[in-house]
């Protein structure tokens, strides 16, 4: 089974372990079929539930977290908790690896191509010192931001991170600044 075909997890109500992310609610994402789908942004799934639903190990998810492929919320008790948006991001990562044979290094480089400075209207003088603008080893959320408009902000709440959660949305974020979409 392809990673993009894995079923969606459903919960009837948020668990007691729900995370402390401020971006709760629903979000619109584009899935691999090109169709829109509203998904829950509130972290309610445990790492074990997500690993089981995606057919991957807990350690694999922890590796993705350590490498910066995904930012994982933690509950007040320090447990990793996931939203539907996080699951869509993991499906995209798994599809890139399994279906398209892209390495983790390749995924990090693709994430670095998202022109965050354009999407958040970062002034040119700040770009000259911004590691996300100067390097190409990961998405902007993988860097420590000092002395710019991203300093002190939570990356998981940033629209660039949120909008780059699916394979289709990453492509549209990159193309937006390269070629006008029809």
For the chain, what are the domain ranges? Answer: 3-178
pLDDT in tens, 93-125: 999 999 999 999 999 988 888 888 887 888 888
The mean predicted confidence, pLDDT, of the chain is: 76
Q: At what angle do helices 58-67 and 47-54 cross, to 10 degrees?
A: 110
Residue 150, pLDDT > 70, answer yes
Residue 92's nearest CA partner among 159, 166, 181, 182 is 166
Residue 134's nearest CA partner among 91, 143, 120 is 143
CA dihedral 132, 43, 37, 59 (to 10 degrees): 70
What would the mean pLDDT of 33-48 be, rounded to a whole number?
68
Give the pLDDT score at 38: 52
pLDDT in tens, 3-22: 333 333 333 333 333 333 33
What would the mean pLDDT of 164-171 be, rounded to a whole number?
75
Return the H-helix or E-strand segment holding 122.
Answer: none
Give the pLDDT score at 178: 60
Beta strands in 59-147 (DSSP E): 73-74, 80-82
Cβ distance 65 to 142 under 8 Å?
no
């Amino acid at each position: 089974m392809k990673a993009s075909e894995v079923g969606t997890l459903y919960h009837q109500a948020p668990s007691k372990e729900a995370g402390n992310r401020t971006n709760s609610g629903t979000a619109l994402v584009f899935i691999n079929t090109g169709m829109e789908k509203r998904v829950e942004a509130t972290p309610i799934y445990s790492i074990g539930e997500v690993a089981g639903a995606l057919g991957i190990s807990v350690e694999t998810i922890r590796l993705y977290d350590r490498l910066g492929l995904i930012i994982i919320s933690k509950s007040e008790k320090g447990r990793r908790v996931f939203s539907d948006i996080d699951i869509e991001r993991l499906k995209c990562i798994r599809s890139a690896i399994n279906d398209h044979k892209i390495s983790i290094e390749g995924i990090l480089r693709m994430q670095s191509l998202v022109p965050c400075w354009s999407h958040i209207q970062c002034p040119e003088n700040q770009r000259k010192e911004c590691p996300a603008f100067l390097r190409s080893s990961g998405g902007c959320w993988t860097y420590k931001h000092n002395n710019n408009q991203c300093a002190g902000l939570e990356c998981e709440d940033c629209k660039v991170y949120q909008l780059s959660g699916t394979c289709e949305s990453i492509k549209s974020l990159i193309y937006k600044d390269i070629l006008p979409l029809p």
